[in-house]
Structure 1
Amino acid sequence: MRVSAARTTTSPVAVIGAGPFGLSAAAHLRARGVPVRIFGSPMVSWREHMPAGMLLKSTPAASVIDAPQRGHGLLDFCADTGTRRLESEWDLIPVEDFAAYGQWFAAKLFPDLERVGVVSVDRAPGGGFALKLDSGESFGARAVVVATGLTGLARMPRELAEAIPDGPSAAGPVSHAAQHRDLSGFAGREVLVVGAGQSALENAVLMAEAGASVRVVARRAGAVGFGVPPDGQPRFSPGSPFGRAWSLYALSNHATHVRHLPAAARHYLVRNVLGPLGAWWLRERFTGRVAVSDGRRIVRARVEGGRPVLTLSGGAGPERELSADHVMAATGYRMDVAALDFLGHGVRARLLTSRGAPVLDAGYQSSVRGLYFTGLPAAASFGPVMRFVCGTTYASPRLAASIATA
């Protein structure tokens, strides 16, 4: 009956995005009896924009999509589908299994999930919002939850962007890591990977294992590093989804207090806490297989004869040039509401932002009444926990409570 209500009401809540944060938010809303329509292709970023063979950096306990209903956790998925059980901190989760878990979660809770895109969100004259879908349908919603994840937010260094006026492309000389699924095509090719985080290091390893000659280019000296295994963490510090440390415990369990910090401090935390670092289990696969140029900054880039050429400065000696068959920028993502082109001009013009990210209240509501953000867009308000799946446990109950009582 609840599904039917969500379809027929004139003012449901629209959840845009069917990744972990969108699915979790919608689950909490429906559990409160709030009519919901959820839009998107389930787990599309995990299925199409992560490399095949990738392993999640997070542990099984930190990779659960939060739901108020029992029986929808990662272990429930493993038991229900016969997938290898994942129980200890030492277990590694293939991205394919995690994507399948999210799809299973969606199928169990949202048989009415609508695999269509939202074209526009504007304020409605009588209050609420007017939405248009790429199916041609228009409808009204009393609230909108933006949970579009990393879509459209890939960060490309300016020097690389200037060398490719047509933009990055998986088939061109320069790409972003998010544009690749199958890395086997790099066999026998020379590749430069820009970045020093898990994405850069793991993509480099996967390409090297596929037969490519790979070099990582990192801006800071000594930037390429790896975390410690579970048995190497402080025994007497409190636990968190990210490891044992008082700071991680506070950021995971008291994220709302981050909102009260100065903007500079909030953005610093998002950039640097749980920042660029390879997983402990990646060190052995990386060492001796991938070359590293660290302490080097890209000052110029160009394409000659179809081959990208990077001019690097820093470190000992003069500027140095590196060329390759391909450059992959594994340089992360940057929140910018301007990239959310489905938000109408009138909506975006009223959004209070901080360095491109929406400023949110304790219930994840923006300065536009009825417009909510969760996941990465919420990190600038609630801290780095919003960058990770385990952030659904903190965000979704609070967001749903805010909407239900509005």
Structure 2
Amino acid sequence: MIGAGPFGLAAAAHLTSANIATRVFGEPMSFWRNNMPEGMKLRSPWVASHIAHPNEEHALDAYAAMRDFAPMEQMPINEFIRYGCWFQAQAVPDLDTRKVALVEPAQHGFRVRLDDGEIVQADRVVVAMGLARQDFRPAPFAGLPSDLVSHSSDHVSFNAYRGRRVAVIGRGQSACESAALLSEAGADVQLISRGPVLWLGSEQDDGSQRRDLAWRVRKLMMTRGAVGPFPLNWLAESPGLVRLLGDDMRDDFSARCLRAKASGWLRPRFGAVQINAGQTISGARTSGNRVTLDLVGGSATFDHVLLATGYKIDIARLGILAPALVQGVANSGGAPRLSYGMESSVPGLHFVGASSAHSFGPLMRFVWGAGYAARAVTRRVAANRAQPAALEPDHVEMFTRSPKTLTRT
């Protein structure tokens, strides 16, 4: 298991519960900790933010009870990170925090090289790296220096932008939340987008406003994961059915579920944010130590440009798969095409999380989708071992000795 975020931890817990020997590599909740800004809140509702466990243990409710706080509609990311680390300590205590440097095909399974040079063997590999190294940067910004143009995933704090003029590119949740956080950090913020900002739901964190009949009807039509509008949200809850759609239909379905919108509770925090909608950026260039953007009707210069332009899955950019594996994985524009067990066209190589969204739909981009992915992988692996092959000595050593004492190279 490569990755210890919600999808990796959920899959590891399910595999271990099924008595499938599993090793997990990576820092717990590393992408959430290192690539999301402090002050951010989860968009998913509380009921859809539990990390899946086969016995429904170590749920968010249990963590909240231990920490003595009540469930909340919008959970602060720092608290969710602490919950993820707590879940890991309970459900995946043997986590190995070393990073995987390279995965190569071997005569039997895969050869996994760790960042300290150690090599281990695995019959199967599950890639659970989430959105790491998948940030999308539009063409006009290619080649511009990172101190002038950055992606929203590059930041955990915006304090360095106090007193500076910052352009935020985008209009979805990440763009609007980043704009609000930048403004609250003291930056002069302009949000630039092609279309208008579309606000979702109540303007209050606790959802207390607008509890009228229309609100109640929408609430009845919502699914637990709350991904997409009715009735698309009901199909999104069944990733196995989504997979049956043709590529074009599935991509259109996902796009409709994930349209650029922002939570209504961000709107009151936009008082000092200038919204410049209806724009097209035809060019971007450095102007001394600033950036000039060519816009409809003229140009504008900023101290910094923040790209909240989302992500594009490309497994080649993960940086850990040997060229032979990258070339061997059937893909669509870089996203792997997966079977029901989240398995790629390379037998034994699985992908869970955002990298599986092309095949299984938008739920795979949210914590709530980790349960489906974990069960699917576990069923596939368990079915394959119905007639198990004898383990080679190296495999026996790898799965029976402590990660701390395993020194085979």
Scaled by the length of structure 2, what TM-score is found? 0.88
1:367 corresponding residue in structure 2: 345
Give the one of 4, 12, 18 matched to 1:32.
18
Higher RCO (CA-CA < 8 Å; seq separation 6+): 2
Structure 1 position 239, deviation (Å)? 2.9
Shift of 1:183: 0.9
Aligned to 1:48: 34
Partner deviation per Cα, 1:367-388 (whole Å, 9 max, x = no partner) = 0000000000100000101010
Q: Deviations over 1:320-363 (max 9, x none)?
A: 21111100001111100110221111111111001210000111
SS at match of 2:218: coil
Provide, for residues 46-97 of structure 1, a one-character-per-residue CA deviation record: whole Å limited to 9, x for no partner. Answer: 1111111111111111111111133311111111233x2215xxx2200000
Question: Does residue 257 of the first structure (1) align with residue 235 of the second (2)?
Answer: no
Q: What's the CA shift for 1:235? A: 5.0
Equivalent position amino acid for 1:250 in 2 = L
Aligned to 2:329, what secondary structure does the other structure show?
A: coil
What does residue range 256-405 of structure 1 map to in structure 2 within 5 Å? 256-286=240-270, 288-313=271-296, 319-405=297-383
Aligned to 1:158: 139
* Residues 243-252 or 341-350, more deviating: 243-252
**1:204 alignment partner, one of 175, 179, 186:** 179
- For residues 251-275 of structure 1, the C-alpha deviation after alignment (integer angstroms, 9 at most, x for no partner) is 11x2112222221222223333132
Runs of 5+ in structure 2 lacking a partner?
Answer: 385-409
**How many residues end up aligned between the 2 structures?**
372
Match of residue 72 from structure 1: 58
Contact 2:364 2:370 in 1 (8 A): yes
CA distance in 1, matches of 2:156, 2:281: 26
> 1:216 touches 1:290 (CA, 8 Å); kept in 2?
yes
- Residue type matched to 1:357 in 2? A
Contact 1:240/1:249 (<8 A) preserved: no
In structure 2, distance between residues paired with 1:264 and 1:153: 22
| Aligned partners of 2:232 and 2:257 also within 8 Å | no
1:129 is matched with which residue? 110
Do 1:155 and 1:331's aligned partners in 2 also have CA atoms closer than 8 Å?
A: yes
Q: CA deviation at 1:238?
A: 5.3
AA at the equivalent of 1:227 = L
Quick check: 2:329–2:345 contact (8 Å CA) kept in 1?
yes
CA deviations 1:300-335 (Å, max 9, x no partner) are 00011110010013xxxxx32111110000111110
Q: Which runs of 4+ in 1 moved over 4 A?
A: none
Are the equivalent residues in 1 in contact too, given 2:41–2:75 (CA < 8 A)?
A: yes
CA distance in 2, matches of 1:131, 1:237: 45
Cα distance in structure 1, aligned partners of 2:362 and 2:151: 22
**Aligned partners of 2:186 and 2:290: how far apart in 1?**
19
CA apart distance, 1:297: 1.1
The percentage of counterpart residues that share the same residue type is 38
Structure 2: how far apart are the matches of 1:122 and 1:66?
30
Amino acid at match of 1:77: Y
| Alignment RMSD | 1.5
Q: C-alpha distance in 2, partners of 1:178/1:218?
A: 18
Unaligned runs of 5+ in 1: 1-14, 314-318
